[in-house]
Structure 1
Amino acid sequence: MTHAVRAPELADWAMSQGRGALTTAEVAELLGVDPDQVRRRLHAPARRGEWVQPVRGLWVPVPPEFRTWGAPPGMEIIDMMMHHLRVCYYVGWLSAAALHGASHQAPQVFQVGVDRQVRDRSVGRTRFSFAQRNVEAVPTISHPTREGTAQVSTIAATMLDIADDLHRAAGLDNAATVIVELSEDPTFDPADLIGLSTTFPAAATRRVGWILSRFTDRDDLAPLRDVAPGLAVSPSHLDPHSTVRGSMDDDWMLMINRDVEPDT
């Protein structure tokens, strides 16, 4: 690196060089100052919306079209943030569902699974919500971003995450809506759910199977239906938060303890 860049031009220089983010040490070297002076040097450019610091020690230049937002969209910076923190992650739940095309209800927060605790935060218009997960057990795809790629849970893993954590899914009705929408993707195969059925709680697989059998016309669910009852000895509840006892669906070993009304 050289020391020829001035602070007011640094954001444009970084973007022209394809640098999606700079560490405090890199900024200091480029400006020819000590690291403890970086925040002061970038204070004015940051106030103009040219820089954002999503995590301590990482500076992200903000493209002009996002400067009124205060930062690039969450999808554009999540990989850089997690790489800087050395945290394994994946974009999941409703955020992943939206990326897979199930955009019936846009998520209010950007939902990310992480392998260790990360504090929720707002960066520009994006509110990040982090949840500790066994990240290595969740299959992902690489979703393209401006600066590279970000890891996003697969369709089957997204379905199971949503069915497992109905709070993050904005409730059972919305979960059913999203699961049905995800099942319409031509690449979805119920066999993928079977492959993940021992990774997720039995209730998640049973809920997904029941929702697909109840609200779609799929004719390829028999193998999943054969697996679901043996995933756990005890029956699962369709709504884990309801104390109402309902009828038992023996095919899925699932107690149907409330009505479901997906918006399909």
Structure 2
Amino acid sequence: MTTEDVAILLDIPSEQVRVRLASLRRAGAIVSPARGLWVPVPPERVAWGAPEPGSYIDDMMTHLGCEYYVGWLSAASLHGASHQAVQEFQVATSKSVSDRQVGRSSLRFFARSCIKTIPAARVAVSASLMRVSTVGATMLDVAEDLNVSGGLDNAATVISELAWEGEGFLSDVLVAVPAHSFTAVRRLGWILENIAGVDGLDDLADAAAEGGESPSYLSPTSIKSGRLDHRWNIILNRKVDPDV
């Protein structure tokens, strides 16, 4: 509920809401993940200090007037890549939102200008719905933003797990290609083929080739030399050691 909702419910002025709810906050029965928004904490989550972020993120983003989707490692975990526990709840947003700690949950927000073009679907969490990037869009986000994805090795692990989890993801990937860099497309294609052992990637290779002749680097932070993989037009400047 918003502060205005609570004020109407209790029939008090809105400026008194914070004071009236103070005891509930101290008891861990309610939290405020954003100014003016109040979320009850179910009994089974009191020890965590807050509900799971997925149960209130949609309401929170609506309250902030912000487009969003849950992405990167958080989306990968929801899609079945459960090799590593996700340490933070990662959300793409249409405008800048400050990171925050809500109970034991760390929420990280990343502003993206192309957020409306990233394929996402509504996913049920508890009694709520939240927007989550599709498997293909998640793969490309993970390949694009290695700093968010825990580095190249972890990205390769997550992408491989997503590929092994189910069929039909390649169509998702191709739909999401226009919203990503050619480096992300090339890196993802190389990982899918050489680490995950996925066949039938010719359409993705064709999409990667549209990026022109200038090659990309497998690792953006390693030395700027290495063998060129001609199929993906990517310089293999670092060995990949996924935990799979």
TM-score range for the pair, normalised by the shorter chain length: over 0.9
Cα deviation digits, residues 34-84 of structure 1 (max 9, x gap): 111111111111111111011011111111111121110111111111011
Displacement after TM superposition at 1:259 (Å): 0.2
SS of 2:39's equivalent in the other structure is strand
Alignment pair present for 1:255 and 2:235: yes
* Alignment match of 2:186 (pick from 195, 206, 217): 206
* Equivalent pair of 1:75/1:150 in contact (CA under 8 Å): yes
Cα deviation digits, residues 216-249 of structure 1 (max 9, x gap): 3322112212331222341000001112400000
* Equivalent pair of 2:88/2:108 in contact (CA under 8 Å): yes
- What residue ranges of structure 2 are gaps of 5+ in the alignment? none
SS of 2:56's equivalent in the other structure is helix
Counterparts of 1:138-217 in structure 2, within 5 Å, are 138-217=118-197
Q: What number of residue pairs does the alignment pair up?
A: 243
TM-score, normalised with respect to structure 1: 0.89
Alignment pair present for 1:99 and 2:39: no
Moved over 6 A (4+): none
Query: Whole-Å Cα distance in 1 between the matches of residues 24 and 207 of structure 2?
Result: 58
- What residue ranges of structure 1 are gaps of 5+ in the alignment? 1-21
* Equivalent pair of 1:244/1:258 in contact (CA under 8 Å): no
Q: Identical aligned pairs, as a percentage?
A: 47
Counterparts of 1:1-264 in structure 2, within 5 Å, are 22-133=1-112, 134-264=114-244
Query: Whole-Å Cα distance in 2 between the matches of residues 148 and 76 of structure 1?
Result: 5
The residue identity in structure 2 corresponding to 1:186 is: G
Displacement after TM superposition at 1:189 (Å): 2.9
* Equivalent pair of 1:91/1:151 in contact (CA under 8 Å): yes
Query: Whole-Å Cα distance in 2 between the matches of residues 76 and 177 of structure 1?
Result: 27
SS of 2:179's equivalent in the other structure is coil
Displacement after TM superposition at 1:191 (Å): 3.1
TM-score, normalised with respect to structure 2: 0.96
> Greater CA radius of gyration, 1 or 2?
1
